[in-house]
Amino acid sequence: MIHLCRTAMKCTRRVEVGRLDRRMPLAFFDLPKHFSAEASDSGSAVSNEQLFQIPKPGVVYGRLTNISKYTNKRDVLNLLESGLRPENLKVEYNRSYFPTSMIVEFPSQSAYDDAVRTIGRKGRFLNMSRADKSQWDTITPHDGRAILLLGIPQNALIDDIERFLSGCQYDSTSTRLFVRPVDQGGVVRMAVVWCGSQAAAMHAYITKNRGFCLNNQISLQILH
């Protein structure tokens, strides 16, 4: 009798296991693979790499304001001490070609942060704020190769400006005459002329600044 009971219990267990096998996929019981050290470590590494990956450094733009008429790129580069080059700066002018700000291109966020701290420590009245690439792209870089002529007589022609700039190397087809209001009231006639190089623009400034065109004294300014 006891032997028959044991036999019946064994058969019942086989039936129950068989039912479980049919209801559950075989992989469900293959637990040791999921808890192996190799699988756990590789999965954790991928997850951590995806969730905590540090972004690659990218270009950051800043706007330097409260600059003066006489602030040039070299002054800013010496102030920041950041290893930037003149081509990493663009001067923003208003319609009367008075410099209002500089857009600075930094190689990374950390370089921008360092510049902000440096300006806070040494920059006196200068301010730095974030800018974006669209602001950088809309500014025409003059790079010291263009000159601004102020005080041109109202009756002066292009030929008069060419005679005034005689002996200078410049692109005569680039001369652009226009009129702008001044703070004291009235208007002043100006012209922008592109030279072939920074050296040519500097030569024009040295030799022609405060010269006369049709009895009017002309002031020159190099555009950066």
In a domain, 52, yes or no: no
**Distance in angstroms (rounded) separating the CA atoms of residues 114 and 107:** 12
Task: Give me the CATH number covering residue 102.
Answer: 3.30.70.330
43 lies in a domain? no
- Judgement on whether residues 159 and 217 belong to the same structural domain of the protein: yes
Say what the pLDDT of residue 183 is: 72
Q: How far apart are CA 111 and CA 105, in angstroms?
A: 10
Residue 25: what pLDDT? 44
Q: Is residue 30 part of a domain?
A: no
CB 33 within 8 A of CB 39: yes
Look at residues 140, 138, 177, 170 and name the one whose alpha carbon lies nearest to residue 156: 177
Residues 125 and 185 in one domain: no
Residues 6 or more apart whose Cβ sits within 8 Å of residue 191: 148, 149, 152, 161, 175, 176, 177, 178
Indicate if 107 and 164 belong to the same structural domain.
no
Distance CA 43, CA 156 (A): 78
In the chain, how long is the greatest CA-to-CA distance?
137
What's the domain range around 154? 146-223
pLDDT the model gives residue 57: 55
pTM above 0.75, yes or no: no
Is pLDDT of 29 > 60?
Answer: no
- Residue 46 scores a pLDDT above 70: no
Name which of 213, 222, 208, 165 is nearest 189 in CA terms. Answer: 213
pLDDT at 185: 72
Considering only residues 149 and 181, tell me which one the structure prediction assigns the higher pLDDT.
149
* Secondary structure class of 40 (helix, strand, coil): helix
pLDDT at 179 over 50: yes
pLDDT band at 2 (very low <50, low <70, confident <90, very high): very low
pLDDT (average), residues 188-206: 96
Buried b / exposed e along 180-204 (16+ C-beta atoms within 10 A): eeeeeeeebbbbbbbbeebebbebb
N- to C-terminal Cα separation, the chain: 109
Domain boundary among 94, 115, 137: 137
Question: 174 and 111 share a domain?
Answer: no
What's the mean pLDDT in 15-21? 43
Question: What type of residue is 39?
Answer: A
Given 106, 137, 168, the domain boundary residue is 137
Q: Which of 110, 137, 164 represents a domain boundary (last residue)? A: 137
Residue 22 pLDDT > 50, yes or no? no
Which tens digit of pLDDT belongs to each residue from 126-175?
999 999 999 999 999 999 999 999 999 999 999 999 999 999 999 999 99
Report whether pLDDT(106) > 90.
yes
Give the chain's domain count: 2
Bridge partner list, 102: 64, 91
| Domain shared by 119 and 167, yes or no | no
Same domain, 151 and 217: yes
192 domain residue, yes or no: yes
